[in-house]
Structure 1
Amino acid sequence: MSPGDGNDDDLYGGTGQTRTRLPDGGQGDVYGGAARRPARSSSRSLITVVGVVVLLIAAIAFANRGGDESSSGSGDSKKPGASATAATGTKPVASGFAHDKQGAQSAAANYAVALGSAEMFDKSRRHAIVDSVYAPDVAADRQASLDKVYAQEAFLSSIGLNNDGSAPSGSTFVSRIIPVGTKTTKFAGDSATVDIWYSSLFGLAGTDTKNPVSESWFTNTYELRWTGGDWRVTDFQQKDGPVPVGRDQRASTADDMAKAVEQYGGFTYAR
């Protein structure tokens, strides 16, 4: 397709034009140490969960924006480099997006998943992801900002991780973004602005954790530029919601949540 082609997709895929590919059997329950919405949950537990999510968003967004304001997410990969944004199969999606509106949306969705993944807490993998996602002229600055944030022991401790970014023994760290829909709000051939609405899972699946896996909803706005024959991120902003009404579902046990994370590999190919 030519740069001007592509669908003027409605936000969040309301018309069915935005297609999100999810693995079969995706988990809908969220581990919270007890029922997701217990009849008499303590206000202290609620404040703790909310505080952890807000802190993560603020810290990662501060880093991704080069030290400005807030942003975050979730996903999972096995190796750095191209595979950091590769699908479960063999086709890599770290490059080769179409030079049109849908290609820009595909790039934004896949990059959001990679930037919000648990791998961002590993320095070498984080560097590989940032180098493959950001435009070359901004990648170095983002690397420095991210390294500064992820090296803060107070930050890692507040979300229940060890000083090296690993999960405590007996716990499984979860950080994943699940794209729901995308929309191109601006398109000018070699530049595009894309909104992505997504759900985020973040926390620790562990019997004694004080930071259980919780769910939150956000919309990121990505500024993209066509450079080197592909779309790359130059900047982004984040806002809360839209947030759907939650259902009263019984939360899974720590063991079930940990097994689900291990058995259901995080997808990185959307749209």
Structure 2
Amino acid sequence: MSLGDEHDAAGGYGGSGQTRTRLPDRSGDPYGGARRPGRRSSSRSMVTVVAVVVLLIAAIAFANRGGDDTSPDRAAGNKPKSAPTSATGTKPVRTNTSGIPTGFAHDQQGAQSAAANYAVVLVSADILMPTRRAEIVQRVFTADKQQGLEAKFDQAYSKDFLNSIGLDEDGNPAAGHTYVSRTVPIGTKVTSYTGAAATADVWCTGLYGLAGENSTNPVTSDWFTMTLQLRWADGGWKVDSFSQKKGPAPVPGDDKASSADEMAKAVQEFGGFTYAR
């Protein structure tokens, strides 16, 4: 329900004449039982406020119905209808291996969930650390692609590259600095699906850079779309290959940039999410 819809609905309760509130007669009142304009206006305003509150509570209750596994629709096995990028109401996976979510369903929704979570992993600070990178490749990619991709990653994230963004050869920042690389999926879509393989696009925004005093690579934001070719292998969705392109990006806002200390503290204190369609 839009704000305009709420306004119209509230007006119907308190301002259209459909509901009238009359004050009780009081003994000794020189005006008898006549309605006073001031009181009537106040009562109508109160009814309008109550109507808006009731509508908001009803909207919140309706929105939360998606997570109730005991609802009649759930019991009947009906899936909630949704737009291509809206949440379906299905709970996220509850298992992970080495911090990477696992156990995605063998269907289009599971493929999208896997793609979203793998996008987060593949553009994380962990991928810059050689020891952690090898583990990510083994968990995320198909077995026949692991060796070749690990070599390509090692070449891309060379010592010279890491030094250029303020990290040592192990992917660690200098003392007093925090390297930031956070990805947030905005939406997903499947462009092809056969059961044995799927192609999924993940629209993302993210933060990357080095937070710290005198950083020459300050934290900034980015918008991009990642396309992942997935294959069902070894009982789960694995990445066969992936690519990335810029955008779509919104018009930049006028938010005031936080200090390096504030950004570093936020990254350290706020954890990430497990994404599911």
Is this a same-fold pair by TM over 0.5? yes
- The residue number in structure 2 matching 1:121 is 128
Structure 2 CA distance for partners of 1:100 and 1:203, relative to 1, 3 Å: same
Residue 148 of structure 1 and its aligned partner are, at CA, apart by: 2.2
1:243 to 240, 249, 252: 249
| Residues 1:199 and 1:167: Cα distance change in structure 2 (over 3 Å) | same
Q: Distance in 2 between matches of 1:143 and 1:125?
A: 11
8 Å CA contact 1:120–1:126 kept in 2: the answer is yes
- The residue that corresponds to 2:99 in the other structure is 84
Identity percentage of aligned residues = 49
| Matched residue, 2:258 | 252
Work out which of the residue numbers 139, 146, 150 in structure 1 matches 2:153. 146
Q: Which residue of 1 aligns with 2:236?
A: 230
Q: Which residue in the other structure is 2:226 paired with? A: 220
Is the partner of 1:128 in helix, strand or coil?
helix
The two structures have a TM-score, normalised by structure 1, of 0.67
Structure 2 CA distance, aligned partners of 1:232 and 1:204? 31
Q: Equivalents in 1 of 2:162, 2:264: separation in Å?
A: 20
Segments of 5+ residues of structure 1 without an aligned counterpart are: 23-80, 86-92
Matched-pair contact (CA < 8 Å) for 2:112–2:276: no
CA distance in structure 2 between the partners assigned to 1:6 and 1:228 by the alignment: 27
Assess if the C-alpha contact under 8 Å between 2:209 and 2:218 holds in 1: yes
1:118–1:159: structure 2 CA closer, same or farther, 3 Å change rule? same
Structure 1 residues 239 and 122 mapped into 2: Cα distance closer, same or farther (>3 Å)? Answer: same
Please tell me whether residue 107 in structure 1 is matched to residue 111 in structure 2: no
Give the structure with the larger helix fraction.
Answer: 2
* 1:228–1:164 Cα change, 3 Å: closer
Q: 1:140 to 1:251 in 2, by over 3 A?
A: same
Q: Tell me which amino acid in the other structure corresponds to 1:193.
A: T
* Distance across 1 between alignment mates of 2:133 and 2:243: 20
Query: Aligned pair 1:175/2:184, yes or no?
Result: no
Per the alignment, do residues 144 and 212 of structure 1 end up closer, same or farther by CA in structure 2, a change over 3 Å counting?
Answer: same
The unaligned stretches of length 5 or more in structure 2 are 1-77
**1:187-206 paired onto structure 2 within 5 Å:** 187-206=193-212
Structure 2 vs 1, CA of residues 114 and 142 (structure 1 numbering), >3 Å: closer, same or farther? same
Q: How many residues align?
A: 197
Distance 1:261 1:190, change over 3 A: same
Moved over 4 A (4+): 5-11, 17-22
RMSD across aligned positions (CA): 2.5
TM superposition shift of 1:115: 1.2
CA contact (8 A) 1:224 1:233 kept: yes
- Give the structure-2-normalised TM-score: 0.66
Q: How does 1:154-169 map to 2 (within 5 A)?
A: 154-169=160-175
Matches within 5 A, 1:15-54: 16-17=86-87
The structural deviation recorded for 1:99 is: 0.7
Q: Is the 8 A contact 2:166 2:217 kept in 1?
A: yes
CA contact under 8 A between 2:183 and 2:207: conserved in structure 1?
Answer: yes
Greater RCO (Cα-Cα under 8 Å, separation 6 or more): 1
Cα distance, 1:7 vs. partner?
9.2
Larger Rg: 2
| Contact 1:153/1:163 (8 A) holds in 2 | yes
**Separation in 2, partners of 1:253, 1:20:** 38
